[in-house]
Structure 1
Amino acid sequence: MLEADKAFAGSVPENYDRYMVPLIFEPYAADLARRVALLSPAAILEIAAGTGAVTRALAPALSSDAIYVVTDLSRPMLDHAASRQPADSRIQWLRADALALPFEDASFDVVCCQFGAMFFPDRVAGHREARRVLKPGGHFLFSVWDRIEENVFADDVTKALAQMFPDDPPRFMARTPHGYHDTALIRSDVEAAGFSRVTIETKAEQSRAPSPRFAALAYCQGTPVRDEIEARAGNLEAATDRAEAALADRHGHGAIAAKIQAHVIVASA
């Protein structure tokens, strides 16, 4: 992963929340929130919360006396998440590095993380930090995207941009969001971090967009792909148009839908 892959700043948080969250994150946020709520935790830590898709789904399902600490490394993403959340005295917002969590050992019943582990510079270290802050018998729940070929819109956009920039194609989507998909490696990393019981479920969903333009805006302007395009002296609107055309050619010009797929991991301390 490149350092630039962690840059969710400028207009990216707003566009990410407006386009990417409904396009691909909401179905998995609802699923992860359901899994966490079934554990009836009293103290919950969310890592790499982004713009708060899981937070919005999970908070209403928690008990009235729960403690819910929501963290992200990116201050702009965290601030946007907080701005979307109704006032809730149970929630604490904190900028924090997943590899150096500012909490005492055995502080939480559940640690959850939706689509953040792919960004950890050292994934075993990140999982080990989750293990450290969990109480005995606690649970670590996280999700990662499957390989890009199983996530159709992301693959379509990546291929379209490769045609536009053949000498130096933007590869953020394949390199980072879809770069931690090997379930054998994931299991090995989680076990190396000290978890003894690990289950991995591969879960397919449908990504739906009201138009090809919506999906093109999501990927080209709501992720660090935007920075890759601009770093290549590319016209952002022209690149978005190219992605839109590729999506329309394959999926049609009205509302479109295609497969997305992710792995959901549950590990017990």
Structure 2
Amino acid sequence: MDTNTLRTDTRFAGQIPELYDRLLVPMLFAPYAADIAKRVAALAPSRVLETAAGTGAVTRAMARALSAPVDIVATDLNQAMLDRAAMTGIDKPVTWQQANALQLPFDDGSFDIVVCQFGAMFFPDKAAAFAEARRVLRDGGTLLFNVWDRIEENELADAITDELGRLFPDDPPLFMKRTPHGYFAQEAISRDLSAAGFDAMPRFDTVTHRSRAASAQEAAIAYCQGTPLRNEIESRSGASLDEATSACAAAIAARFGSGPVDGKIQAQVIAVQR
């Protein structure tokens, strides 16, 4: 991934945080946040670090799932996402801190669990990020994260990408396929974890849910305007952001019907012990 593409793919700013939190969290991230939080609670940690926390979907789920007093530190590269996260009330104390997952500002061995929901795909150096997670974990601690499966297993993202390819045939916006759905191969993930210093074998679970939206238009807005896909669309000529969103809404309606949208989503959940 070149520097310009990396910058575009990781820029969650402007209207993106609000749309992401309001539309994409319930559509995509909430069911997996509950899944991750349940797994965290089963490990009974006393101190948890979350990287790539975004607008706090997992943070809120962990606060609900963890019954005992737990120190939760939630970090993200994008301050705008953390600002949105901090606006939502959480019934347990949370430390929100801007931080790069490749250069964590924490002491060695200072957390029981490092959690990352759908963030590893964005790390420019996966092994380096995993090595940082390993460094701040105590002996016996767990790195717990998830990644989206291949785009063909995620019906709405696939439909959006196909339609944008038709709309911009000379330079299709491939953010969804390239980044959110570009890091799913178990062999590659295992290799990166090994390179990061994890000796234990990672455990992989394939978890399937349903993604629901009130309408095709809402789903199209969520993807086209509430993710960095927006940056790719806006950088192209031939169709405006609103025109591209409308085209994607029509494509979703043609595939899923004119009423509420219900599509398959699938992810890999990975746990590895230090």
Taking structure 2 as the reference length, what is the TM-score of the superposition? Answer: 0.95
Alignment of 1:1-269 (within 5 A): 1=1, 2=5, 3-86=7-90, 88=92, 90-195=93-198, 196-233=200-237, 234-269=239-274
Please give the root-mean-square deviation of Cα atoms over the aligned residues, in Å: 1.0
Which structure 1 residue ranges, 5 or more long, are not aligned? none
Structure 2 alignment gaps of length 5 or more: none
Query: What code does the residue aligned with 1:101 have?
Result: L
Q: AA paired with 1:35?
A: R
Counterpart residue type for residue 169 of structure 1: P
Q: Is the 8 A contact 1:191 1:198 kept in 2?
A: no
Q: Which amino acid aligns with 1:182?
A: A
- Size of the aligned set, in residue pairs, is 268
* Structure 1 residue 64 displacement after superposition: 4.5
> Structure 2 counterpart of 1:252, which letter?
G
- Percent identity, please: 55
Conserved 8 A contact 2:54-2:82: yes
CA-CA distance at 1:87 after TM superposition: 6.0
Distance across 1 between alignment mates of 2:258 and 2:60: 31
Report the CA distance between 1:60 and its aligned residue. Answer: 2.1
What is the DSSP-based 3-state SS (H/G/I as helix, E as strand, rest coil) of the residue aligned with 1:136? Answer: strand
Q: For 2:68 and 2:140, how far apart are their aligned partners in 1?
A: 22
Determine the C-alpha separation between the residues in 1 that align with 2:256 and 2:111. Answer: 44
User: What do the CA deviations read for 1:85-128 (whole angstroms, capped 9, x no partner)?
Assistant: 3364x311100000000000000000000000000000000001
Structure 1 residue 37 displacement after superposition: 0.8
| 1:210 shift after superposition | 1.2
Structure 1 residue 61: Cα displacement: 2.2
Structure-1-length-normalised TM-score? 0.97
Give SS of 1:35's match: helix
Whether contact under 8 Å (1:110, 1:139) holds in the other structure is: yes
Structure 1 residue runs of 4 or more that deviate by more than 6 Å after TM superposition: none
For the residue of structure 2 that corresponds to 1:84, the secondary structure is coil
Does the 8 Å CA contact 1:42/1:63 hold for their aligned counterparts?
no
Q: Distance in 2 between matches of 1:176 and 1:71?
A: 20
Q: Do the aligned residues in 1 keep the contact of 2:63 with 2:90 (CA within 8 Å)? A: no
